[in-house]
Chains A and B, each alone.
Chain A
Amino acid sequence: GNSVTQMEGPVTLSEEAFLTINCTYTATGYPSLFWYVQYPGEGLQLLLKATKADDKGSNKGFEATYRKETTSFHLEKGSVQVSDSAVYFCALHSGGSNYKLTFGKGTLLTVNP
């Protein structure tokens, strides 16, 4: 079945540091890949997505590239801010009419001033 494996957290960085959160997946077919973010006290929000191999999703300075050869979708940001502190979830949708997102366990990011 489908699965998503994320880098274990928590991750603690200083402001302006470089961020990488690793994500690898197992899926049949050609899945779409997503990063969701959950800020404290809020619901999940879509951060970025990529729907086919070699696509790069980007939003708010975050980027992730769909690498089919390595089945990966690592999240990166060049310079994190305190406001980026949140839980980040990698997820996939394996296609078809059933929008059944498979999520990773989440990675807690804390950015200190």
Chain B
Amino acid sequence: EAGVAQSPRYKIIEKRQSVAFWCNPISGHATLYWYQQILGQGPKLLIQFQNNGVVDDSQLPKDRFSAERLKGVDSTLKIQPAKLEDSAVYLCASSESTGGKTEAFFGQGTRLTVV
């Protein structure tokens, strides 16, 4: 079974530039998550989709971050404009459903460096 695919693996940009990350979840998984993992910290949920609807985006900095999941499959996360503090690994995960006993499968992540 193919896992969660993310691209690119690495990205270096200057502050105030824009950047986009792509995620392809496991086939058939209705729920998709984007997490931000800052160095030395655990992952923090940015946004959760159920099919193509947003379930939770309470921790998404909406003035600069946006995400979409068109057709309920692939998803993109965008940052515009980027700040130095956005340097982190951005993890995408998917699961069959949203229940607490359901396992979430994570991609390898995109490491963003803002200089």
Contact = CB atoms under 8 A, between A and B. Distances in A.
B40 interface: yes
Interface string B3-40: 11000000000000000000000000001010000001
B43 to A, nearest CB: 5
Nearest to B56: A98
Interface stretch (B63-71, B80-88, B105-113): B105-113
A69 B115 CA distance: 47
Contact of B101 (A32, A42, A94): A32
Contacts of B45: 100-101
Contacts of B4: 43
Interface in A22-49: 31-32, 36, 41-46, 49
Interface of A: 4, 31-32, 36, 41-46, 49, 51, 89, 91, 93-106
Contact of A96 (B43, B100, B108): B100
Contact of B108 (A43, A89, A103): A43
Contacts of A104: 42
A89 B106 contact: no
4 pairs of A and B residues whose beta carbons are closest in the complex: A103-B42, A93-B100, A44-B106, A43-B106
Contacts of B44: 103
Nearest to B3: A43
Contacts of B103: 46, 49
Contacts of B42: 4, 89, 91, 102-106
A31 B100 contact: yes
A36 B42 CA distance: 11
Contacts of B106: 36, 43-45
